Amino acid sequence: MRDFSHLDIVFALLWAARWTLLLSIIAFVCGGAVGFLLMLMRISPLRPLRYISWAYLEIVQGTPLLIQFLLAFFGISILGIEISPWMSAALALTTFTSAFLGDIWRGSVDSIPVGQWEASKALSMTYAQQLGLVILPQAVRRSIAPTVGFLVQVVKGTSLASAIGFVELARSATNITNVTFEPFFVYLVTAVVYFGICFPISVFSRKLEKSLAY
């Protein structure tokens, strides 16, 4: 049997981090798209749309991410669809991301003074024009910093995909521990790798917050 040096462990963990990054990117992109729709529904003049969006946000934000992963993996199969850990991890994380991003963006749109809506309406703009030309450009500026900050939550969230057997960074750490019996070193390095991904994002988000402040 082959022995693992500490350097081997570090490289194996760094290599495993690519799945963490890939899953984060997929969730962020797909979650962003769904989140944008949710935000549109939440601020729409149509009451049923607002209620649906509100219920979605409350339910997703009220359930643990771990349960969402388990539901996406074990629960979907009752529809008769075979779902891979990959697909279910992406699905669960997209759901989670969309709910939070939808809420963050709704907050930024709400923070735009109502006079802006009224002024653009007075210029006889259509709803789409009011939103697209006047409100969103201002709201985007306010939402950038919290959006980047939320990316940290997404990266950390990917670690729970390990519970459904998706081999990303946290799962690799457990697998390596089972072989090397060095939990202290392995989990420490794992934490450092996560920190190396998340900390720069946090710092960047705080910088944005300062530079974009009015």
Name, in order, each residue with C-beta under 8 angstroms of 155's C-beta and a sequence gap of 6 or more. Answer: 20, 21, 24, 194, 197, 198, 201
Name, in order, each residue with C-beta under 8 angstroms of 23's C-beta and a sequence gap of 6 or more. Answer: 89, 90, 93, 158, 161, 166, 168
Question: Using CB under 8 A, which of 163, 167, 179, 208 touches other proteins?
Answer: 163
Question: Using CB under 8 A, which of 45, 48, 80, 115 touches other proteins?
Answer: 80
Q: Does 210 bind other proteins (CB under 8 A)?
A: no
Question: Using CB under 8 A, which of 11, 15, 51, 195 touches other proteins?
Answer: 195
Q: Which of these ranges, 30-38, 86-94, 110-118, 177-185, lies near other proteins under the rule CB under 8 A?
A: 177-185
Question: Using CB under 8 A, which of 33, 43, 66, 125 touches other proteins?
Answer: 66
Task: Looking at the chain, list the stretches that DSSP marks H as alpha helix, in order from N- to C-terminal side.
Answer: 6-43, 47-62, 65-70, 85-110, 114-122, 127-129, 136-157, 169-180, 183-211
Kindly tell me which of 65 and 134 has the beta carbon lying closer to other proteins. Answer: 65
The answer to whether the beta carbons of residues 155 and 201 sit under 8 Å apart is: yes
Question: Using CB under 8 A, which of 94, 130, 159, 172 touches other proteins?
Answer: 159
Min dist CB 125 to other proteins, Å, is: 35
Q: Which of these ranges, 33-41, 42-50, 125-133, 171-179, lies near other proteins under the rule CB under 8 A?
A: 171-179
Question: Using CB under 8 A, which of 82, 114, 115, 184 touches other proteins?
Answer: 184
Amino acid code (one letter) for 54? W
CB-count exposure of residue 20 (10 Å: 0-12, 13-18, 19+) = buried
Q: Does 128 bind other proteins (CB under 8 A)?
A: no
Q: Does 67 bind other proteins (CB under 8 A)?
A: yes
Min dist CB 101 to other proteins, Å, is: 16
The answer to whether the beta carbons of residues 85 and 165 sit under 8 Å apart is: yes
Name, in order, each residue with C-beta under 8 angstroms of 154's C-beta and a sequence gap of 6 or more. Answer: 24, 27, 28, 31, 93, 96, 97
Site size with other proteins, rule: CB under 8 A: 45
Sign of dihedral through CA atoms 73, 74, 80, 82? positive
Q: Does 152 bind other proteins (CB under 8 A)?
A: yes
Binding site for other proteins (CB under 8 A): 58-59, 61-68, 70-71, 74-75, 77-80, 152, 155-160, 162-163, 170, 173-174, 177, 181-184, 186-188, 190-191, 194-195, 198-199, 202
